[in-house]
Amino acid sequence: MKFHIDPLAITTFRRLAGVRAFIELLYQSIPEIECREREALSRLAREQGLDFGEYSVEAQLLDERFRHWMPRLSAYSIIMLLHSIVETQLFACAQRVGSGEGQAFQVRDMRGGVLESATLYLRNAGGVDVTADPAWPRLKDLHELRNIIVHRGGTRGQSPEHQKTFKRLVETYAPGLSSADQPGWSYGEMWVSLRLCAQFAGDVEGFFSRILKAIGVRAEAIPGGS
């Protein structure tokens, strides 16, 4: 038996599959590259007779690159990618509802940002309340993490509201999310684990499996749907 796979489902889940593949690549490649770099440094030290001070400086630079910047920037990239998929595909779901017969207004007629307008349109025109989905609170936290990364460089921020949000997220997602102001951390950016990124990817995938069904995409047409 052949099934028609909806283009909206294909686009949504292929994008998420790409993010999952990216996470797996980072899991494997960062330790491998670090190992190669440290072996190269040891070889250089032997061949050129680097003294302890010179070797220590180079080793510290590797620590900063592979223990601070690469893990942070990799995870930050994943968070922003996932948030972009949520916005883009939720808006596409609202457009799908708006393409049906008898719709007096379209999602572009709604006020507010992308998430807000898509959410309101799906509720008003499609009868689908995405905020009632079990994954919605975590998607809202994904949105907050994205804002911390994009608008505050991954730091706690100055306002009491920003600091309260930061504290709540760290308490909620520890140990996958760590505070930016731990002793010895020079730059102050929060640390997000790739494991937590993978969990958020699963949240987004489950969310769209349910939302696509709710707007009329057949269950068997959703790759990996439940």
pLDDT 10s digits, 148-157: 999 999 988 8
Mean pLDDT in residue range 73-90: 96
Please check whether residue 2 lies inside any domain of the structure.
no
Q: What percent of the chain has pLDDT over 70?
A: 88
Alpha-carbon separation of residue 3 from 29, 143, 166, 210, 211 (angstroms): 37, 34, 45, 19, 19
pLDDT for 2 equals 53
pLDDT digits (tens, 9 = 90+) for 171-186: 999 999 987 655 444 4
Domains in the chain, number: 1
Please check whether residue 84 lies inside any domain of the structure.
yes
Residues 6+ away with beta carbon under 8 Å from 112:
120
| β-pair partners for 192 | 177
pLDDT for 180 equals 60
Q: Which two tokens stand for residue 8?
A: 């909206």
Please check whether residue 48 lies inside any domain of the structure.
yes
Please check whether residue 116 lies inside any domain of the structure.
yes
Whether residue 74 contacts residue 194, with contact meaning beta carbons closer than 8 Å, is answered with yes
pTM of the model: 0.87
Please check whether residue 115 lies inside any domain of the structure.
yes
Q: 200 lies in which domain range?
A: 7-221
Average pLDDT value for the chain: 87
pLDDT-wise least confident of 71-75, 78-82, 98-102, 163-167 = 98-102
Rounded-to-integer distance, Cα 179 and Cα 159, Å: 16
pLDDT digits (tens, 9 = 90+) for 184-195: 444 568 899 999
Q: What percent of the chain has pLDDT over 90?
A: 62
Mean pLDDT in residue range 163-178: 93
